[in-house]
Chain A
Amino acid sequence: MPKKKTKKLIDKNGVRIDGRELNKLRPIKLEVGILDNADGSAYIEQGKNKILVGVYGPKEVHPKHLAISDRALLRCRYHMAPFSVQERKSPAPSRRERELSKVIKEALQPAIFVKYYPRTSIELFIEVLQADGGTRCASLTAASLALADAGIPMRDLVAACAAGKVEGHLALDLNDTEDKEGEADLPVAWIPTLNAVTLLQMDGKVTLEEFEQLVNMAIEGCKQIYPLQKEALKAKYIAVKEEVKE
């Protein structure tokens, strides 16, 4: 028997299935420096997403022939844990994971001073522990924190957020159901001081006007995420300062 679509994704008051309004982000929790063995690390919870990021480097490149003589090599692995989705995911890297690794790397590269450390590699490992839509954006948000935590010089942090079209409405930060059953999803990564978009993808169908609205909406989302990132980076050290004062 075919499954009947029982619940509408957006009710008549413009409230979504998880109780959010159209232009609201999911609740975000950010933590920095939670792994002892990595040079830098960060953890993000965005709605039901749970993602852990670890950074190593800059260090020697292995194998050596991959080293670039005038800048650092940025390597990135986005990986979903087998238990991150409802149906067990094979732990082998899929086509989608390779793509995300590539776009995340390219979204972060402009923010890092790769020219400072030639012949080295910076390695980024992203583990999605639990996925609920918009993991590439959440991964990017956390990855830039992990890089900053590793002490790698950066022009700025990178904030990322998606916007999409669900049942004819434009909505910010889609969750898994909205992403799968909605019409379109458009993730954006944004570097505030450069005012540059370093990631822009889209699937689904929208009109040209809607596309522009969605890009602006996603950037507005990034603007909300950016201060949270700064706060998370400072929190680690401010805690020590206050402890000392007592």
Chain B
Amino acid sequence: MIKTLLCKVMNLPTFYERKQIVTPGDLLAENDYVAGDNTYKENGKIYATRVGLVDYDNREVFVVALKAFYVPFIGDVVIGKVTEVSLGVWLLDIKAPYPAVLRASDAFNRPFKPQRDEMPSIFDVGDLVIAKIVAYDRTRDPLLTVSDLGLGKIKRGQIVEITPTKIPRVIGRQGSMITMLKQETGCQITVGQNGVILVSGKSPEDEQLAVMAIRKIGEEAHTSGLTDRITEMIKNEKRDVEHA
């Protein structure tokens, strides 16, 4: 029963092969398909809304965007920069359309008392902070927390920024890419879902190597055989360093 249904679905018209580049307004599929990410349906026709790679999953048609900005999502770990310290809250730039709010009571772990607590001594303007989104909807700005393991101020390391839609490629299937990166470069890597990545290693050279690799992933995310190419690149770079 399911099989016949699937066959029926397969026979419905689609206008692009999987992983083909599409642009806004391209007609992707008709009739019974469901409009997934970066698509919209009008009069039974599904169109792309962003530049990206089209893909089909069962009845769902979606586009993996090649460039997009970060949209907050509850539970995401992000890396943000403190832009404002005001009474009781910090405002952070998390590369999203909205500024993120971090409450002082959350960082102090008790009610905030203005006469006693010095907010800049915890986070000051310009500080980079790893935080998690705890609340967000279209009427309110995203709310952050730092009271969890691995969250808080960044003290050392280097920052790389890539388009947030490419974060899944940095992590890889079941974390294959990130595990490989960590192993080969010996760096600790913290991935913010907003496209900001922290790399901290034993030496600046190690960090530089990891940064280079991540940048390459960002540029070539839409091509196949990426993990192998990155592994090869890191090995070549390492060999060059040893010879030098």
Binding site for B on A (CB under 8 A): 39-40, 57-60, 69, 111, 113, 117-120, 148-151, 153-157, 191-193, 229-230, 233-234, 237-238, 240-241, 244-245
Contacts and interface: CB of A to CB of B under 8 A. Distances in A.
A237 B22 CA distance: 11
B38 interface: yes
A151 B65 contact: yes
The 8 closest A-B pairs by CB, nearest first: A156-B25, A151-B68, A153-B49, A58-B97, A154-B24, A120-B97, A151-B67, A233-B23
Contact of B51 (A156, A193, A237): A237
Given A117-B97, A244-B223, A155 B49 contact: yes
Nearest to B45: A193
B190 to A, nearest CB: 24
Interface in B104-163: 138-139, 163
B23 A153 contact: no
19 contacts: A57-B97, A113-B49, A118-B139, A120-B97, A120-B98, A150-B69, A151-B51, A151-B65, A151-B68, A153-B49, A155-B25, A155-B47, A155-B49, A156-B25, A156-B47, A157-B23, A157-B24, A234-B51, A240-B219
Given A192-B25, A237-B66, A244-B220, 11 more contacts: A117-B97, A120-B98, A149-B67, A150-B69, A151-B65, A154-B24, A155-B40, A157-B24, A157-B25, A191-B25, A193-B47
B170 to A, nearest CB: 17
B47 A237 contact: no
A153 B38 contact: yes
Interface of B: 21, 23-27, 38, 40, 47, 49-51, 65-69, 97-99, 138-139, 163, 165, 219-220, 222-223, 229
Given A155-B24, A193-B47, A241 B223 contact: yes
Nearest to B63: A153
B222 A241 contact: yes
Contacts of A233: 23, 51
Contacts of B220: 240, 244
A72 B15 CA distance: 31
Nearest to B138: A118
A151 B69 contact: yes
B222 A237 contact: yes
Contacts of A238: 21
Contacts of B47: 155-156, 193
Contacts of A156: 24-25, 47
B23 A60 contact: no
Contacts of A149: 51, 67
A76 B44 CA distance: 33
Contact of A39 (B27, B50, B69, B165): B69
Given A193-B47, A240-B219, A234 B23 contact: yes
B21 A148 contact: no
B88 to A, nearest CB: 19
